[in-house]
Structure 1
Amino acid sequence: MSRIRDACYDPDKKVQPAGYQGRVEIWPGIETSIGRCEGDELLMQIDQRFLAARKETALDVLRRVMLKHKDDGELLGRTEVAKALIGQVVVTPYNNLTYRVESIDWATAPVSLSTVSGPHGKMTFQQYFVQHYGAAGHITDLQQPLLVSQPANRALRRAGTHEIRLVPELCRMTGYTEQMRSDVRMMQAVARHTKLDPPRRKAATEAFIHRLTTNSNVQQTIHAWDVEYGKELVGVEGRRLRPPQLQQSGKEFSYDAGKAEWGREVRSHPLQQTVTPVRSWLVLVTEQHRANVMGFVRLLLDVAVGMGVHYNQPELGIVTDAVQSYIERVGKDPRVLDLVLAVFATDDEQRYSAFKQFMSCHRGIVSQVVLAKTIRGQPGTLRSVATSLCQQINAKMGGTSWILNFGFESYPMVVGIHCHADHREQKTVVVAAATYNRDLAQYHNADRFVDTDEQAMQSVASLIQECLENFRAKNGAYPADVLLYRGAISDGQLKKLIDTEVSGVRSVIGGLSTNKKIALTYMVVSRNVGTRFFQENGKTVGNPLPGTVVDRVVTRADRRDFFVVAQNVREGTASPTYYHVIVDDAGRKMDDLQLMTYRLCHLYYNWQGPICVPAALMCAKKHSQLIAHNLHQSPATSLRDRMHFL
């Protein structure tokens, strides 16, 4: 196997999805880690990983982008190439290593001299690759610029290897393009190899264990250390929390844990808190999809009546497929619009970002984007789409779809903190999404742009202060409790987080003028964990049902931690969410923290079902992704407090 960053892949066992042999290869892999868990047990996490290696090279991408912008000038062409390549991960087949592209060196080419010396002095990059890799290092385009990457290995950085030069022609692109992701059949073909259901994943894990415990070279090495690998998966007893009772306009209902979805109930009753009538709104669509969209709008209006939301008839705006056409149509509309519904013909991230930037930053109008293919289909399916769309719009305009009765005497401020790195701009956006009402359903979003991880941690204190002041402005007093869920943190950053971020938040809270000290609860939330749970059903295994909690055997002896599977998974194997409680001033019981956390996964109004993390953290994540995607301005002030999520 070949080690690529934190995982090991087996290029010899690569597979090509049926029908797409010439476009992408799937390399199967394994990621493992060993840690000391409860009872002083040493346990190994084993998780399957897959690397998508495309046939096209970085040079193919470079040429395609330059050709597309050949009439726009070389400077603009290079800018567009940087957008397409910087931040991307490439794999070099000559050594099966991956690199993240940090920049493009337009002044250096394969014929330039490298830092490596040969028998006759300095070698060119071309000579170096041919000498070291033979035919695999053969280069045909001698004038192509080189890619620059920072070494992922810390030892190389300490040794002074600060930058690595790569030849685009020898770098294969990884991951999926937007065009690939929009190809439903292709993604289905890929999913047959990558989305392993519990029986297949369990079998693959046991096959790896068998390789470990029967390979003579492995056995010889570990026996020299007096170590032995176990031969079976570890059994652990979990428990399942009952689905909570949801409330919607006086009606109380629950849901079937096996399906974990309540779309029918949402459509059957008025939403908990609806917005004022949507009087003036605009639907933008291309002529090609006009008839289909008008039929869907009629269905949307019908569904909205049952949900207690009133829409006036919209005005239809016919546009071309170019984003500028959408923007110009909104820009010349003389009315004060409550809503713009834009129907895009295809999934295009740049078009989406540009449209959202204009709507949120320049016009301050609530907007909703939907793909034309999403609103085609059977009436039953379309009613579900219309339900989701109606409640999303209601939430964006300040409404609430449903609530849970938490039974608070004094309700807390629940905060989600998420960081999103923009590799193209070398910036990180840090977002705090904090509740400010009793139902924990309204959010204030605060954000900062920073350059480093340390600055990100330092900025959290000021974000929390802004959220606390907003809470006081809305309620006349500060909250008695702050319950904070912190995402996007690795174990290696934990000490720095405690020393810098938590300390800063404590200073902010301690400096407030309150009658009673505010209790802080700080939890680090990890989605990228290698732990997987299989629920035994007789002789077969399946996914744990939503609400499954595991807080023993596989948790750490030196931590207050637990796993929760909150969501229902229809494809593949459920991935649990890991919670590490690093601060608990309120002294809550673990059972109470687990129940509170699970229930908070039910308050995200983009889906009629529980999600994998508390809603505040998901809102922070969505907000950070949106403004990081070319939205380097804060949303219009008029939208900041009333948008549940952007």
Structure 2
Amino acid sequence: MGHPLAIHHYNVLFRRIMNILGLALHGRHFFDPMGAKPIPEHKLEVWPGFVTAIHEFEDGVMLCCDASHRVLRKQTVSELMTDLVNIARGADSWKQEFTNLMIGQQVLTRYNNKVYRVDDIDFNSTPMNTFSMRNGEQVTYIDYYKRHYDVNIIDKGQPLLKSKVKAKVKGQELSQIVDLIPELCFLSGITDSMRADFKVMKSIAQHTMVAPSLRQKALIKFLRNINGNKEVRTLLDSWGLHLEDTNITLPARCLAPEDIYHGRNAISAGTLNCDWGRGATNNPVMSAVDLGSWYIICTNRDDKIADEFVNMCSKVSSKMGIQVKKPTVWTIPNDNTQLYIQQIQRLKTLQVQIVVVILPIARADKYAAVKKMCCIEFPVPSQVIITKTIRPPDKLRSVTQKIILQMNCKLGGTLWSVKIPMKNTMVVGLDTYHDASQRSHSVGAIVASMNPQMSRWYSKIYSQGVGIELIDGLTQALLACVNKYREVNNVLPEQIFIYRDGVGDGQLGVCVDHEVPQLIAACQHIAPNYSPKFLVVVVQKRISTRFYTQGNVDYVNPPPGSVLDHSVTRRDMFDFFLVSQNVRQGTVAPTHYIVAHNTTTMDPDKIQRLTYKLTHLYYNWCGTVRVPAPCQYAHKLASLVGDSIHKEADESLADKLYYL
């Protein structure tokens, strides 16, 4: 039953079942075009679907099934093209913009419910062009679509979209170019402008963030559709297979809530909702860095908003034990990027703790320019604030409190801690940023703890380019962290715990067989007799497994701290699932942890408890997060370098959380 070839065969069978049920394949998952839910106010529709995978688990071969959704636009490629032509007013400049927008985008052809990726646009071809059928007959695209799909093409002068499609013929993978008609192609996914629109995202969330009770109903209905279909039953019976009518029920356990320790011995008692926002803002921080010399740069128009922000800073900071003096505010006539850079350059001759830049609108290029300047050319902690964040008077207090806490972290302060009874232990988080535009290049970030409370962190960047082994840069970065730990604590760490994010199932073998041995070997370069104990845990967020618990009336999300480490875990691995965060909307997603290597004395229970404790230490959020804090810090750092500064920040910032 559990042979790899048999498992592969079951998954192939299940794809056939999805086709029998009339579901359309989009990418790797199947969706139901008949169950589409329209969002007319935004010209969108949401297709419900299912992510399915059959694996062998501890309790045998099981189907992992989760509800999924695909957002589609009701705008055709032809309509987008018409809009661009109207803006350009007849000039040919629209062609370049149209090409930039469409290349790499996915489109849906509703006549056959297939998704294609646009690889090129042929402006010299039209639907009037002919092509050869299999029988050698020459036919125009207009006649072909009328004959096969009863579709009339109206615009006979539109260009053709080109898509490279892979097909298997007699076991060989071949690629062929398919021509698509813009008029018949619907745009797929949502744009950046839609993502930035709160109303659009709220409308989409109402359809995609499914509560546990609704998710369970959808799953039971799906299983009934499978078992109630005669053709599907015949197919399963012919292989001697049977699918249960409901999902599996298992016992789990919940770790005790963690107390949060603030400055001056103040404690926020642990609760099941894992929210200590009030405790973090009403109690002193663990270690404060007083703000004596700081500068604000903003436009003339935002001068008053900056003054209100400064006044609020002085009101809220004393409760947190942080002394904030009045900053120097420099105004500029407009939000030209060069003007911000010139003002930051003026600070080079002055004593500056932190520079605050207030931008009128969120612009990636302006943000990147400011961060590049403050991280590399003139290394100083920086805080970028968007005007609309601090404009509403009713939200100014709570927003300012969070900004003050964030600025304290960037200056080297610490906010809170949890009880971690371990000595001489360095906890490391690893994550990788992959640049979609430069497929060959990726940036790795490593963040390591420098004190027993796990409240101070040191960071390094390693680059992975063409022909450069991932491990080469990673070992050097780890050595730098170990040496820094010795410099801070006057002793080498006896234990090194590594939480490795960004590793999928396909890369697990490389991680265990290639990375881990070389990371361990790297430590011998520090001292010949130095051999610390290692714990390497792979962290997986992108999983389809979902858990919910039976409430008083219906199914609800399990509380934070819920652990499941049997039955649905892998048969040949030391792994567990942990729900660490509290969500108010939709179904909570657990995180999958795989212990890839362990030479410490930590048993499963201690590893699970430590992992849960570490989810409380991410200083950008007064609550638990989905992964351990060092992983989340590494993710933030890798994103900052990959998206904005494209280079490692100055060493003087490495022991501060400048990337928050």
Residue 96 in structure 1 maps to residue 113 in structure 2: yes
- 1:97–1:301: structure 2 CA closer, same or farther, 3 Å change rule? farther
Distance 1:137 1:389, change over 3 A: farther
The letter of the residue matching 1:228 is H
Q: Would the aligned equivalents of 1:444 and 1:467 in 2 still touch at CA under 8 Å?
A: yes
Structure with max Cα Rg? 2
Among 430, 452, 477, the alignment partner of 1:417 is 430
- Of 391-400 and 464-473, the range deviating more from structure 2: 464-473
Q: Is residue 474 of structure 1 aligned with residue 496 of structure 2? A: no
Q: What are the within-5 Å matches in structure 2 for residues 551-590 of structure 1?
A: 551-590=565-604
Distance 1:91-1:156 versus aligned 2 partners, 3 A rule: farther
Equivalent of 1:491 in 477, 490, 505: 505
1:604 CA displacement = 0.6
Separation in 2, partners of 1:55, 1:547: 42
Q: Which residue of 2 aligns with 1:361?
A: 376
Q: How does 1:444-593 map to 2 (within 5 A)?
A: 444-451=458-465, 455-456=469-470, 459-513=473-527, 515-593=529-607
CA distance in 1, matches of 2:346, 2:555: 58
What is residue 401 of structure 1 aligned with on the other side? 415
- Aligned partner of 2:288 in structure 1 is 274
Match for residue 159 of structure 1?
Answer: 173
Distance 2:521 2:602 in 1: 22
Q: Secondary structure at the match of 1:461?
A: helix
CA contact (8 A) 1:418 1:621 kept: yes
Which residue number corresponds to residue 306 of structure 1?
A: 319
> Which segment drifts farther, 479-488 or 176-185?
176-185
Q: CA deviation at 1:237?
A: 1.1
CA contact (8 A) 1:113 1:122 kept: no
Aligned partner of 2:226 in structure 1 is 212
Stretch of structure 1 that moved more, 593-602 or 309-318? 309-318
In structure 2, do the counterparts of structure 1 residues 438 and 332 end up closer, same or farther at CA, with 3 Å as the change threshold?
same
Q: CA deviation at 1:269?
A: 2.1
> Aligned partner of 1:8: which letter?
F
| TM-score normalised according to structure 2 size | 0.85
Flag the 1:161–1:241 CA change in 2: closer, same or farther, 3 A: same
Task: Report the residue type matching 1:561 in the other structure.
Answer: D
- Equivalent position of 2:32 in the other structure: 10
The residue that corresponds to 2:198 in the other structure is: 184
Partner residue, 2:7:
none
CA gap of 1:509–1:66, structure 2 versus 1, over 3 A, is: farther
CA distance in structure 2 between the aligned counterparts of 1:584 and 1:616, rounded to whole angstroms: 19
What is residue 342 of structure 1 aligned with on the other side? 357
One of 140, 151, 157 as aligned partner of 1:135: 151
Q: Please tell me the residue identity of whatever aligns with 1:26.
A: V
1: CA distance between counterparts of 2:31 and 2:89? Answer: 39
TM-superposition CA deviations, 1:74-102 (whole Å, max 9, x none): 7x995x7777556644434444333556x
Distance 1:82 1:239, change over 3 A: farther
**Contact 1:148–1:163 (CA under 8 A) maintained in structure 2:** yes
| Residue 13 (structure 2) aligns with | none
Between the aligned partners of 2:642 and 2:85, the Cα distance in structure 1 is 25
Instruction: Verify the 8 A CA contact 1:280 1:335 in the aligned structure 2.
Output: no
Pick one of 60, 64, 81 that aligns with 1:45.
64
Does residue 284 (structure 1) correspond to residue 284 (structure 2)? The answer is no
Structure 1 residue identity aligned to 2:380: I
Q: Is 1:54 paired with 2:95?
A: no
Contact 2:445–2:462 (8 Å) recurs in 1: yes
- Structure 1: segments with no counterpart, 5+ residues: none
CA distance in 2, matches of 1:112, 1:478: 74
Tell which deviates more after alignment, 527-536 or 334-343.
334-343
Contact (CA 8 Å) 1:284, 1:340: kept in 2 or not? no
The question of whether the paired residues in 1 share the 8 Å contact of 2:448 and 2:630 is answered with: yes
Could you give the per-residue CA deviations for residues 293-323 of structure 1, whole angstroms, max 9, x where no partner exists? 4323321222122212223222142453554
Q: Which moved more, 1:341-350 or 1:633-642?
A: 341-350
**Conserved? CA contact 1:69–1:77, under 8 Å:** no
Q: Distance in 2 between matches of 1:86 and 1:449?
A: 27
Structure 1 residue identity aligned to 2:321: G
| 1:521 Cα deviation from its structure 2 partner | 1.1
1:9 is matched by which residue type in structure 2? F
CA distance in 1, matches of 2:404, 2:305: 18
Deviations 1:322-368 (A, max 9, x none): 54554444345564543232333444444433443343333323222
Structure 2: which amino acid aligns with 1:11? P
Distance 1:226 1:628, change over 3 A: same
Query: How far does residue 249 in structure 1 lie from its aligned partner after superposition?
Result: 1.7
Provide the alpha-carbon RMSD of the alignment.
3.6
Q: Is the 8 A contact 1:247 1:253 kept in 2?
A: yes
Task: Give the deviation of 1:132 after TM superposition.
Answer: 6.9
Equivalent residues of 1:417, 1:485 under 8 A apart = yes
The answer to whether the Cα contact below 8 Å between 1:110 and 1:126 also exists between their aligned partners in 2 is no
Three-state SS of the structure 2 residue aligned to 1:218 is: helix
Distance change >3 Å, CA 124–CA 298, structure 1 → 2 = farther
Distance 1:81 1:536, change over 3 A: same
Change (3 A) 1:71 1:373: farther
Q: Deviations over 1:55-90 (max 9, x none)?
A: 34567667878998999997x995x77775566444
Match in the other structure for 1:237: 251
Match of 2:367 among 352, 362, 369: 352
Moved more, 419-428 or 338-347: 338-347
Deviation at residue 116 of structure 1 after TM alignment: 7.2
Q: Aligned partners of 1:251, 1:490: CA distance in 2, in Å?
A: 42
Distance, in Å, in 2 between the alignment partners of 1:73 and 1:473 is: 62
Distance in 2, matches of 1:452 and 1:108, equals: 36
Does residue 25 of structure 1 match 2:45?
yes
Cα deviation, residue 259, structure 1: 2.6
1:476, distance to aligned residue in structure 2 (A): 3.6
| Matched residue type, 1:135 | V
Aligned partner (choices 607, 612, 621) of residue 598 of structure 1: 612
Q: Give, in whole Å, the separation in 1 of the partners of 2:303 and 2:419.
A: 43
**Aligned residues of 1:182 and 1:347 also touching (Cα < 8 A):** no
Find the partner of 1:35 among 33, 44, 55.
Answer: 55
Match status 1:439 vs 2:453: yes
What displacement does 1:511 show?
4.0
**Aligned 8 A contact 1:285 1:342 in 2:** no
State the SS of the aligned residue for 1:403: coil
Any conservation in 2 of the 1:27–1:51 contact (CA below 8 Å)?
Answer: yes
SS at match of 2:442: strand
- Answer whether contact 2:445 2:638 (CA < 8 A) is retained: yes
- 1:309 maps to a residue whose letter is I
Distance 1:516 1:639, change over 3 A: closer
Percent identity between matched residues is: 26
